[in-house]
Chain A
Amino acid sequence: EVQLLDSGGGLVHPGGSLRLSCAASGFTFSSYDMNWVRQAPGKGLEWVSGISMRGESAYYADSVKGRFTISRDNSKNMMYLQMDSLRAEDTAIYYCAKDLEGSWGIDYWGQGALVTVSA
């Protein structure tokens, strides 16, 4: 059974940093691209970042480019999102998400990690 466990959320001041983690199990982690998708309170889904299966390519939404860094450790079946220079508008639930092979979709989602940016 595929499982994605998000962790690392919390309360942080504007300008601060936080690192999210995603622990994957139940599939061959190194064979799939992975993503972070967020959902601000009462809002829709927003793709944040994606990383290729071997980690050689990373992609970012314009809203986080230059502030967030995605990475993965295939030896540990882990993915990370380092979030720096956080802003109030980054407040959201962040979901780890597994790519659906071959069609740019998502077939499995984590339970989400709440990030609150507030003074």
Chain B
Amino acid sequence: QSVLTQPPSVSGAPGQRVTISCTGSNSNIGAGYDVHWYQQLPGTGPKLLIFGNFNRPSGVPDRFSGSKSGTSASLAITGLQAEDEAFYYCQSYDSSLPGSKVFGGGTKLTVL
């Protein structure tokens, strides 16, 4: 069972907007630690998608955006494209597990 909770799956048609939630607690997201998001395309390793709650690395389209409030965070994807079909993971730090990084269980995005 993951420390951070994500929905197992979301779906949307091309061009639509979808959001993926990430729910934590007062020892991780709620304690003010940053949330990061990773995209994992089929058969590949993870790639940093959003860092520091809402920042995009160079090369990531502005269709991807992140937000955080209280003990939760969200990833929004607008203008869905077929190439966005992938697994998405949120990640943060948890003060009850010194030195460790905690991940969400992952969300499979299906583009219909």
How many chain A residues touch B (CB < 8 A): the figure is: 22
Residues of chain B touching chain A, judged by Cβ–Cβ distance below 8 Å, are 2, 33-34, 36, 38, 45-48, 51-52, 57, 87, 89, 91-93, 98-106
Residues of B contacting A61 with CB < 8 Å?
Answer: 100
Given contacts A44-B103, A104-B93, 4 further A-B contacts (CB under 8 A): A44-B2, A61-B100, A103-B36, A104-B101
6 CB-based A-B contacts, threshold 8 Å: A47-B101, A47-B103, A104-B93, A104-B101, A105-B101, A106-B38
Q: Please report the C-alpha to C-alpha distance between residue A111 and residue B45 in the assembled complex, in whole angstroms.
A: 6
Residues of A contacting B105 with CB < 8 Å?
Answer: 44
The answer to whether B38 and A45 have CB atoms under 8 Å apart is yes
Nearest A residue to B36 via CB reads: A105
The answer to whether B98 and A59 have CB atoms under 8 Å apart is yes
A-B contact count (CB 8 A): 66
The answer to whether B89 and A45 have CB atoms under 8 Å apart is yes
Residues of A contacting B87 with CB < 8 Å?
Answer: 44
Which are the 5 A-B pairs with shortest beta-carbon distances? A59-B99, A104-B93, A105-B36, A44-B106, A47-B101
The answer to whether A104 and B34 have CB atoms under 8 Å apart is yes
Chain A contact residues: over half helix, strand or loop, or mixed? strand
The answer to whether A110 and B45 have CB atoms under 8 Å apart is yes
Please pick, from B46, B93, B104, B106, the residue contacting A95 in the complex, using a CB distance under 8 A. B46
The answer to whether B89 and A107 have CB atoms under 8 Å apart is no
Q: Please report the C-alpha to C-alpha distance between residue A95 and residue B78 in the assembled complex, in whole angstroms.
A: 30
| A107-B101 contact, Cβ under 8 Å, with A44-B2, A44-B106, A112-B45 | no
Residues of A contacting B104 with CB < 8 Å?
Answer: 44
Residues of A contacting B99 with CB < 8 Å?
Answer: 50, 57, 59
A32-48 vs B, CB cutoff 8 Å, 1 = contact: the mask equals 00010100000011110
